[in-house]
Chains A and B, each alone.
Chain A
């Protein structure tokens, strides 16, 4: 005969312990909550740690550290630090990258979501995602030895020859091609997969009734896409753009390798420069003084706050599209 396990009597001490711990669930829930709080604390402590570690730099330089100037100094020997050239470099390269990447990414998203035949969709999705998987240093290596001399240097020379009067396109172009323009171009390649993938998902989430209604009114496919679907998913696409911008702002290695790393007062896109991420990457390990490394940490803190705000905005926009779209399956 099979012996059935007998349940312990209610009064048994072991049974009381088990009941107290809800058969282990109390412990399990405690672990879940604890770890979740730890993840939360990790995010908060990144901000707090950077804020704390840059306290001297913040009190000494105050707001003038961040404000735009034309003659910014970054002088570790005399302990004079102003971060404007890096902030400018970051903003300029990221915005130019965004301008270049946006039309291409939208085109990819539209093609993948609306037009692509089924047999081609999976491989194309894969290839776009692989573009995002290539490590940043490999982009940098390719940019430094292939892209700069072959594309950026001639392009920059021509731009300087045609638009040289405008300060943004003032020459001269360096012989290696290392410039903010090179950084912006490499960045645009790197953020295309981010923007394209999210915009594609936004387009795919739009209910079919929108397409059918528009086509039934006699629109062509392009008119449906441009006048119905894009406005419908606009805030989601905007979210994708902002996430792409966030990625561009924080991108370090590829930019450091192609931007030429010089502290330039020139505002030109065609001159070498620095971004916030690349000055940290280049100088932090060899920071000369305590104040030098604190100034670099403050640059990191500003970068953290910028990406934090952008991320919050982007998530909010994407979430708004998702919550407005009814749960209607798209066949």
Chain B
């Protein structure tokens, strides 16, 4: 009898041992999975720095590309183009994004609120190449030519959902007595929204801007048939020649936005598929610059957010 229960106990212990081994094994596997996923990150970052660093120098940022096959030259056109299209995208996307977020945060359950949040979700999932096609059909085709303006509009569509989503989240995080206090003092709804809620949520909203900006800056596909690319694009030249012929700021801006232009990711794509080794070397340089921009924006945004979360908790 006792022998029998001893046997059961031994069997139980053996199985327990097995379960514990499986436990440890699987927990170790999840840790390894995490490490494995980070290998490409370090591999990419390391390789881009290793290959890209040698081609970075003063000329790289201040010169236009030389004809293919020649050493030297830079990507000034792409740096200027990237700044122009991302600033343009921010100008197009931020005001409507923030306003829509106010609506979504204030009226989440009205039919329009539900529809708005749904379309934000859908917009964030639309492939960027499809956004490019849309901007082509909407702007490039009626205007008859590729332009930086169309590129900026395409990137704005990419930025919009991120801005709406993060701003909405930040507005929802605010304690409701902030709003109620302002209304109780007699401030109108718009006054409350703009001078109480907006400043209170500002740093969170900025985080959203920066993340959206980082994403837009690295996008290539929406620019392929909107901004197209333009190796001779040079803002300095347009401005000086414009000033010489006494054009006003509006005309000069129009001339800048009205022509095709290049951006860093576009240049990277073209250079990477080029058969000339100097261009491929420069592609790595462009990749490095792009990575630095994008990662810096991301890290700044996250530091900002972490800081704010600490402040809210403390």
* Contact surface of A with B, Cβ cutoff 8 Å: 22-25, 27-29, 31-33, 35-40, 42-46, 49-50, 52-53, 103-108, 110-112, 115, 122, 124, 126-131, 133-142, 144-146, 189, 192-193, 196, 220-223, 225-226, 243, 246-247, 249-253, 257, 277, 280-281, 284-285, 296-297, 300, 303-304, 307-308, 310-312, 315
Contacts and interface: CB of A to CB of B under 8 A. Distances in A.
A168 to B, nearest CB: 25
- Chain B residues touching A, majority SS: helix
A162 B48 CA distance: 34
B287 interface: yes
Interface stretch (B21-29, B65-73, B201-209, B234-242): B21-29
Interface of B: 19-20, 22-23, 26-27, 29-34, 36-38, 40-41, 43-45, 47-48, 96, 99-100, 102-104, 106, 112-113, 115-116, 118-123, 125-131, 133-134, 136-138, 141, 157, 160, 164, 188-191, 193, 214-215, 217-221, 224-225, 228, 265, 268-269, 272-273, 280, 283-284, 287, 290-291, 294-295, 298-299, 302, 306
Contact of A33 (B37, B112, B126, B219): B112
A171 B2 CA distance: 65
A46 B134 contact: yes
Given A104-B37, A146-B47, A140 B99 contact: no
Contacts of B123: 39, 42-43
A300 B31 contact: no
A307 B130 CA distance: 10
Contact of A311 (B121, B136, B221, B287): B121
A246 B125 CA distance: 7
A114 to B, nearest CB: 8
A272 to B, nearest CB: 14
7 contacts: A25-B188, A40-B112, A50-B134, A136-B265, A141-B283, A280-B129, A307-B127
Given A46-B126, A297-B137, A111 B30 contact: yes
A115 to B, nearest CB: 6
A138 B287 contact: yes
A133 B38 CA distance: 13
Contacts of B131: 46
Nearest to A189: B40
Nearest to B39: A189
Given A36-B104, A110-B30, 7 more contacts: A37-B112, A45-B134, A126-B302, A127-B41, A141-B283, A142-B44, A311-B121
For the complex of A and B, 9 pairs with smallest distance between CB atoms: A250-B127, A107-B33, A135-B218, A28-B190, A220-B23, A43-B119, A311-B125, A111-B30, A252-B221
Contacts of A222: 22-23, 26-27
A312 B290 contact: no
Contacts of B290: 135, 137-138
Contact of B268 (A40, A138, A311): A138
Contact of A49 (B48, B138, B220, B291): B138
B44 A134 contact: yes
Contacts of B291: 134-135, 138
